[in-house]
Amino acid sequence: MKYLEEYRDPEITQKLIDKIHKIIRHHSKEIVLMEVCGTHTMSISRLGLRRLLPENIRLLSGPGCPVCVTPNRCLDKAIAYAKREDVIITTFGDMMKVPGSSSSLEKEKSQGRNVVVVYSALDALKIARNNLEKKTIFLGIGFETTAPTLAATIKITKEKNIRNFFVFSAHKLIPPAMGALLKDQELHIDGFICPGHVSTIIGSKPYEFIARDYHLPCVIAGFEPLDIVQAIFMLAQQIIEKRPPRSKYNTHVR
């Protein structure tokens, strides 16, 4: 597929990896780069990128998955709602097996509770319109990427005056999570690989505090091999050459 395959070109990827080895060969200290998004982590593992990088570049997985960082109190509340006879719980499939304090949505469904897996908030809204006698609750889980579609669904709900559709929001924001990590005195991070899809929604400005307050570089990247390797190259280059981490240096979106 044109354009997509270009970001998977093994020859160009290898050239970039060689450049990384070249600029880091005289750098004795370990460089720790955090990929914030779980999609980056999966791509890095699937592609075997860690094995191709110099030994003193360590990739550290960040907050990653919004489901994994959903606290028990949110799950317990969703499970409590699911036990009500007048409620239909709608959720993405990856929430089903996540355990709460004493149960899970999958377990509640197996016991006859009305828990339905959907692929979008619009699917949940359709369920609400077809079941007006019940309250349909959609579990709003995700980072900034899922918020716009949910907002659009809420807008439709208001326009059509649908009164039995509810949203239980447990959305998370990426920049505050990064800020919390940077405040941890025991965690050493030299730079961030920022998620391309989240950044398409929020832009690069929310990351500026990282450069301004912590003097660390961050690079926005997609999820193909070239995206990730180029991000690592740009970060390593800034760290070793001690470039000022200003916006004209520290962001890249394909």
pLDDT digits (tens, 9 = 90+) for 71-83: 889 999 999 999 9
**Distance (Å, whole) CA 50 – CA 54:** 8
Q: Which residues of the chain have pLDDT under 70?
A: 1-4, 243-254
Q: In terms of domains, do 38 and 100 share one?
A: no
Structure confidence at residue 248 (pLDDT):
46
Q: How far apart are CA 138 and CA 150, in angstroms?
A: 9
Of 169, 186, 209, the residue at which a domain comes to its end is 169
Partners of 115 in beta bridges = 89
SS3 111: coil
Q: 108, 138, 169: which is the final residue of a domain?
A: 169
Please check whether residues 51 and 94 belong to one and the same domain.
no
The three-point CA angle 81-151-93 to 5° equals 50
pLDDT at 27: 86
Q: What is the pLDDT of residue 243?
A: 65
Q: What tokens were used for 31? A: 């460089």
According to the model, what pLDDT value does residue 247 have? 47
Number of domains, the chain: 2
Query: Do residues 57 and 178 both lie within one domain?
Result: yes
**Strands in 3-56 per DSSP E:** 31-37
pTM over 0.85: no
Report the CATH number at residue 108.
3.40.50.11740
The whole-number pLDDT of residue 186 equals 86
Domain around 13: 5-64+174-250
pLDDT of residue 253: 42
